[in-house]
Amino acid sequence: MRIVQVANFLSPTSGGLRTTLRHLAEGYAGHGHEVVQVLPAAVDGEIETPWGRQVGLRSPALGSTGYRLLLDRNRVRRALERVGPTVLEVHDRTTLRGLGRWARARGVPSLVVSHERLDRWLGQWLPARLPLTPLADHSNAALARDFGTVVCTTAWAAEEFRRLSVPNLALVPLAVDTTTFRVRTERRAEASRSPRDVVLVLASRLSREKRPEVAVATLRTLLGRGVAARLVVAGDGPLRPRLQAAARDLPVEWLGFVADRARLAGLLAGADVVLAPGPIETFGLAALEALACGTPVVADSRSALPGVLGPHAGRSATGDGAAFADAVQDLLATPEASRRAAARDRAEEFSWPHTVRGFLAVHESGRTRAA
């Protein structure tokens, strides 16, 4: 197959989506398939990679977010016509959702990955008085009609499609690189610290939907309770100046975006607890990477992460500093060896070869239906 992946909302500091695209592409190539990615870029261009070809289309930046969007739909369609996909894989449901109709008109099997839960996403940005669920249902029903398959990565993300009885829904969990992200015999946090400090890590984009202010509030609460703790923040984004101002009297180290995956793995392995306060996470790769490093996670109970963590690899809490601090202290009351073993054991249930096989099964099913 010639598998063409198209995506939006990528930047030089992208985390989960860029990681997902890379691992899927490498897996497809390993199975003998040709892979082409069509992505937004600062300038037009093509590059060859070990797994295939990447086509960059010049696209405008989205304000100060660092993201770029493929807004010129005709240029995207022309690029697809040149590439000639056997199957189409779309990782966006905003400006690229019309590609499902393009593929259907040409007999090309297609899937769209729902990387966000629309009903919850709308709740982050629109007034609660609006009929958010009907709005989401209308959009989701249209998305499912346009594409051959809708892929969700967790049962939590799939809920908004299941309530519509969407027949072309597939559940394929994402995964983690358990070689790069591994337990370290000697843990070392990047921030200077006393051996008695509890080290919290936030590995996240610093933007509204990620709720990074909860991590700062958690640290403040723990310190107020007499817990010797510090916070290391690996990530950047539009909220960074505001967060730094709010935390100027706290022991916080701001690392910015950590591009080196080995360095990030060492940082996660050196933490006592990783915080994942985003309430609308549909999977949470950073949290799974922490588990692979043997570090438990405290996540927002409203997100998909409680299902990813399972019953033993972390805790879930309502989205405020006091509740997160309670969960951190509850985790720390568990013997360290036990909580680290539980975290690693859970991560090993999520493998990229399994995820790749799941996506390939969806693609093959689409080809069978098209034939």
* Contact assessment for residue 313 and residue 290, using Cβ atoms and an 8 Å cutoff: no
Phi, psi of 42 (to 5 degrees): -70, -35
Cβ neighbours, 10 Å, residue 208: 14
Residue 191 is predicted with a pLDDT of 43
278 DSSP 8-state letter: -
Q: At what angle do helices 132-146 and 155-162 cross, to 10 degrees?
A: 90
Q: What are phi and psi of 157, to 5 degrees?
A: -70, -30
CA–CA distance from 108 to each of 8, 105, 145 (Å)? 20, 8, 15
pTM to 2 decimal places = 0.91
pLDDT of residue 65: 74
Q: What is the pLDDT of residue 196?
A: 65
Model pLDDT, residue 194: 53
Query: Are residues 154 and 307 in contact, defined by beta-carbon separation less than 8 angstroms?
Result: yes
| DSSP codes joined into one string, 170-206 | EE------TTTS---SS---SS---TTPEEEEEES--
**Rounded Cα gap, residues 4 and 56, in angstroms:** 13
Alpha-carbon distance of 84 to 6, in angstroms, equals 13
Output the pLDDT for position 190. Answer: 46
Whole-number pLDDT of residue 195: 54
Residue-level pLDDT at 187: 54
Query: Shortest CA distance to 362 belongs to which of 78, 99, 113?
Result: 113
Cα Dmax for the chain: 66
In angstroms, what CA-CA distances link 364 with 86, 129, 266, 356?
10, 43, 38, 12
Amino acid at 114: S
Q: Which domains does the chain have, with CATH numbers?
A: 2-175+351-370 (3.40.50.2000), 198-347 (3.40.50.2000)
- Please identify every stretch of the chain with a pLDDT value under 70, giving residue numbers as ranges: 13-14, 186-196
Strands (E) in 247-357, as ranges, are 252-256, 273-276, 297-300, 314-317
pLDDT at residue 104, rounded to an integer: 96
pLDDT score for 9: 87
Contacts by 302-308 with C-beta closer than 8 Å and gap 24+? 302/120, 303/156, 303/276, 303/278, 303/279, 304/117, 304/153, 304/154, 304/155, 304/156, 304/157, 305/276, 305/281, 307/154, 307/155, 307/156, 308/154, 308/283, 308/284
SS3 category, 149: strand
The first and second tokens of residue 157, run together, are 């993300």
Residue in the block written with tokens 């690996």: 234
Q: Using one digit for the tens of pLDDT, what is the confidence trace for 132-160? A: 899 999 999 999 999 999 999 999 999 99
What is the predicted pLDDT for the residue at 189? 46
Rounded Cα distance between 215 and 196, Å, is 20
Burial 46-78 (b: 16+ CB within 10 A, else e): eeeeebbbbbbbebeeeeeebbbbbbeeeebee
Radius of gyration of the chain (CA): 21
Mean pLDDT of the chain: 93
Q: Which amino acid is at 12?
A: P
